[in-house]
Amino acid sequence: MTQNKETGWNFDNSYARLPESFFKSVEPTPVHSKELVVLNKSLATFLGLDVNELRSEDGIEVFAGNRIPEGAHPIAQAYAGHQFGHFTMLGDGRAVLLGEHITPSGERLDIQLKGSGRTPFSRGGDGRSTLGPMLREYIISEAMHGLSIPTNRSLSVVATGESVLRETKLPGAILTRVSSSHLRIGTFQYVANWGNVEELRILADYAIKRHFPEIKDNEDRYLALFQEVIKGQAALIAKWQLVGFIHGVMNTDNMTISGETIDYGPCAFMDKYDPATVFSSIDVQGRYAYQNQPAIGQWNLARFAETLLPLLHEKEDHAVELAQEAHSEFEELYHSHWLAGMRRKLGILNEEEQDKSLIEDLLQIMKKHQADFTNTFRALTLDKPEDTVMAGAREFTHWYDQWHERLARQAESKTSAYQLMKNSNPAVIPRNHRVEEALEAAVEKGDYNVMAELMDVLSNPYAYSPEQEEYTKLPEPSNLPYRTFCGT
């Protein structure tokens, strides 16, 4: 383990010590011009890095892929995936994992450059990224962190000064991404399809050691691994649903073993409540619509189970039974997380059988009146039902009375209930129109102040501060649906 004494980089690259078939050693492609446009100072401090050194010429050279920090071992990881249901070989086509940084607290985190040039897995692509999507990932991933949703994080964005050809020429950029690992369901699919059982065992043991060390001595540790991943995904997707987050590309290569959100391509947050909401321009069938995310998560976990069968039991029939039994637990786990979260959003501190009906009735009324998801729960938190579009509607008035009767039946005070709601309902989310405003100012005008102000508001979404009021406003009505793009 080596350490860069000046900046604080402290690399120990355990994944690069796995079988060579799991990755390809590769150097980022240097850029001729570079400008550090965003640096996440709080994340840098958490990582134990010197902010001034990161802003220096040498520090920016690392973010641009022009210099490899001491102790790093750059690689592109191999993986496969079901993309919109179709299986294919993939791999890091425009990303390079510099290595694993050990924080002062001993946490092991991947440091990855996204948009740093071609790799052996680029499949004919240029390996580059454009400024808008990299800033978008920075904004959304950090907003998710503020919402206390497990996620990879963004350390920096560097403008490369190069043009990247998509439909038109666009400014290039490189994002530095930080995550607990980049192990995906698709990583296991790759090894299961193109490796052997021993390599699969090595990968599973590595995942256990890195993410679930408490099960490493279990006799049935591979079944326990599957169960732990199920738990993580059930909790994660419930958190998405509770804030109206729509991932957009829930392919198996975008679902992590660690239970972190990864790949912020065509993602967005729902405004008016509609379970069928889709934002991604390429999801023409609505496969990854808001209402489908739990079922897709369960489908992805079935694909993960298929890869583990040789490790679960030597007899395939028994292995399938074990996997099916564990897999069947997802639905109940997800629903338990979702129901508990919805109770918190409504200030309910105990359990009654009719709570589910109370919640579902509210959602149906919200759908009927096209009520904004976030602002509805914000209004209830502030006890201002008049601020919702449902105000005055007979069914909402009836529901509101039922809800207050429900709160009155619990031992805790209404003050406690409203505090619980305040801690559970964000006052602000990265509204789609606000994100677009920030991106337009940055990309078109070189003005990063709009983005900085947005990031400041999103850093503590549960603050309910006066500064956040402006960011709760809805966009102007439009006849055109909001659309997001992968940015690849």
Residues assigned a catalytic role: 253
Q: Which of 164, 145, 162, 160 is nearest to 63 (CA)?
A: 160
Question: 21 Cβ partners below 8 Å, 6+ apart?
Answer: 78, 191, 194, 195, 199
Report how far apart, in Å, the C-alpha atoms of 405 and of each of 308, 353, 418 are: 49, 15, 14
Give all strands (DSSP E) within 379-431, no chain letters.
none
Q: Which residue has the tokens 């010429």?
A: 57
Element (H, E) at 336: helix 329-345
Q: Which residue has the tokens 């001993």?
A: 106
* One-letter amino acid for residue 451 of the chain: M
Question: 218 Cβ partners below 8 Å, 6+ apart?
Answer: 224
Report how far apart, in Å, the C-alpha atoms of 147 and of each of 235, 264, 378, 461 are: 14, 15, 14, 7
Rounded distance, CA 465 to CA 469, Å? Answer: 7
Rounded distance, CA 288 to CA 273, Å? Answer: 16
Rounded distance, CA 200 to CA 187, Å? Answer: 10
Rounded distance, CA 476 to CA 45, Å? Answer: 39
Please state, as a whole number, how many other Cβ atoms lie within 10 Å of the Cβ of residue 119: 26
Q: Which of 156, 125, 166 is nearest to 62 (CA)?
A: 156
Q: Which stretches within 409-480 are classed as H helix?
A: 414-424, 432-445, 449-458
Rounded distance, CA 419 to CA 65, Å? Answer: 46
